[in-house]
Structure 1
Amino acid sequence: MSHTLEERCRQLMIQRKFEQCQKEIETAMAENPHCAIPHNLMGILLEKESNHVLAMKHFRAAYALDPTYVPARYNMDQYAQMYPTGKCAFTEEDCPVENDQQFELVYDEHHVGHLVRK
């Protein structure tokens, strides 16, 4: 049974196998340099390692690569708060954002979607 990168990283972080998780994320970044998912996961990993500044850079990179990727936007908002709850989004299922309707998807003149706070 094949697990997604997000599932494998979630389990590795729970087990505190940060080095192994970092290697998997770096491999995914090398194989898919324009994919937002590995950058979001690297941001989560760096937050768990208390490297907030670098984590935020990876969340912003994930958002820049795909402005419609909800977990990156959720994590940026979550960790930019003065007192974050520590909850992070590995996948869209982890994001309560869509349920509370505080964001909407708006397309710009280049047909790129952006999540905008209502």
Structure 2
Amino acid sequence: MLENENNNAPEVHNLYGVLAELTGDLGLAGKHYRAAYALDPAYKPSSRNLERITSFYYSPWDTNPDFGDQPETEEVTNYVLEFDNRNIGHLRKRSQ
């Protein structure tokens, strides 16, 4: 490990997972992807990588890992949460 490397950053574990995956060690890759997810569940690249390598349809020849170098796009939901007069929440579809 490098001296200035932050071992508690999900990006580091995600990249270690990518490296392990590219060398064929899926067990180690999964451990690093899970460590990245545990450090920051909102970090999407590790979630996508973990989901990809644990998929039934995973193929080592079609490897396309998420390095985390692209900016995340914000997910737009089509529903909004509204509360009625009894403070019960209801999902309502947004009008376009």
Q: TM-score, normalised by structure 2?
A: 0.64
More contact order relative to length (CA 8 Å, sep ≥ 6): 2
Identity of aligned residues (%): 36
User: Which segments of 5 or more consecutive residues in structure 1 lack a partner in the other structure?
Assistant: 1-25, 102-118
Structure 2 residue corresponding to 1:93, chosen from 42, 46, 70? 70
Considering fraction of residues, name the structure with more helix: 1
**1:81: Cα distance to partner?**
0.8
**1:59 has 2:33 as partner:** yes
**1:49 has 2:26 as partner:** no
Q: Kindly name which structure, 1 or 2, has the bigger radius of gyration based on alpha carbons.
A: 2
RMSD of aligned alpha carbons: 2.7
Q: TM-score, normalised by structure 1?
A: 0.53
Number of positions where the alignment pairs a residue of Structure 1 with one of Structure 2? 74
Distance change (3 Å), C-alpha of 1:45 and 1:95: farther
